[in-house]
Amino acid sequence: MTTRPPRAERSVIPGPVGDLQALIEIPEAADIDPHAVGSFGVVCHPHPLYAGTLDNKVVYTLARAFEELGAPAIRFNFRGVGTSAGGYAEGIGETEDTLAIVAYGRERWPRAELWLAGFSFGAAVAIRAAARANAARLVTVAPAVGRVNVQDVAMPSCPWLIVQGDADDVVEPAAVLEWAAGRSPVPTVSVLPGAGHFFHGRLHELRETVLAFMRTAPETKTRKDR
């Protein structure tokens, strides 16, 4: 038996400074009854000033991992990227963009919990947004915690995975691991030996790491029943 690919919707979602370009992918089961959707994902892309977009391969991999677990996933372009309105805002405005996408997802799937993810700059933005968004799961790949301010925000209390390649030449692996060890609660950390920043040739491993975490992370009650 084969399962058809997720249905893709190219959409425009209202953001804090104008419309945000988005790609929404909906697995077959979630397409049948929106009110039965238990989870939805939002995935944040890498740095807007260095060619980061919703089409990044790591972002695609994270979205597909969520979709494999039955969750619709929203990839979107931060302000100033693609056809999204506005301009680069140091990770602060991009956090507000993320929260606007989350609000859209909650309106569309009112009974679903939030799975939030991001890569590099987008991972740091996801960390900034996670507590405010009341995320049920957080997945951050090579988080650029030394380049985006994550010191003035509450840390998430939900199950949280950090995936880091130890051959990353963009985000310093030792700095990420040291920073992660100082969080409370300490996130789950998975180091992929020999993997570089963009996980070339290692995307399948990355996907399997995310799937394993998502399947074994404890259930968390994050939202009040409506």
User: Is the model more confident about 120 or about 226?
Assistant: 120
Q: What pLDDT, in 10s, does the model give residues 191-216?
A: 999 999 999 999 999 999 999 999 99
Q: Is 223 among the domain residues?
A: no
User: Residue 25: pLDDT above 90?
Assistant: yes
Helix (H) or strand (E) holding 102: helix 92-108
User: Is the model more confident about 36 or about 57?
Assistant: 57
Q: Is 188 among the domain residues?
A: yes
How far is it, in rounded angstroms, from Cα 195 to Cα 206? Answer: 10
Q: Is 1 among the domain residues?
A: no
The domain total for the chain is 1
Q: Is 17 among the domain residues?
A: yes
In this prediction the pTM is 0.94
* Residue 102: domain span: 7-216
Residues 111 and 48: beta-carbon distance below 8 Å:
no
User: Residue 165: pLDDT above 70?
Assistant: yes
CATH code where residue 153 lies: 3.40.50.1820
Please provide residue 76's backbone torsions phi and psi, each rounded to the nearest 5 degrees: -150, 160
User: Residue 222: pLDDT above 50?
Assistant: no
For residue 114, give Cα distances in angstroms to 40, 41, 50, 81: 5, 6, 28, 24
Q: Is 156 among the domain residues?
A: yes
For residue 70, give Cα distances in angstroms to 23, 65, 125, 128, 197: 17, 9, 24, 26, 28
Q: Is 225 among the domain residues?
A: no
User: Residue 35: pLDDT above 90?
Assistant: no
Q: Is 135 among the domain residues?
A: yes
Q: Is 139 among the domain residues?
A: yes
Q: What is the mean pLDDT of the segment spanning 158-166?
A: 98
Q: What pLDDT, in 10s, does the model give residues 142-155?
A: 999 999 999 989 99
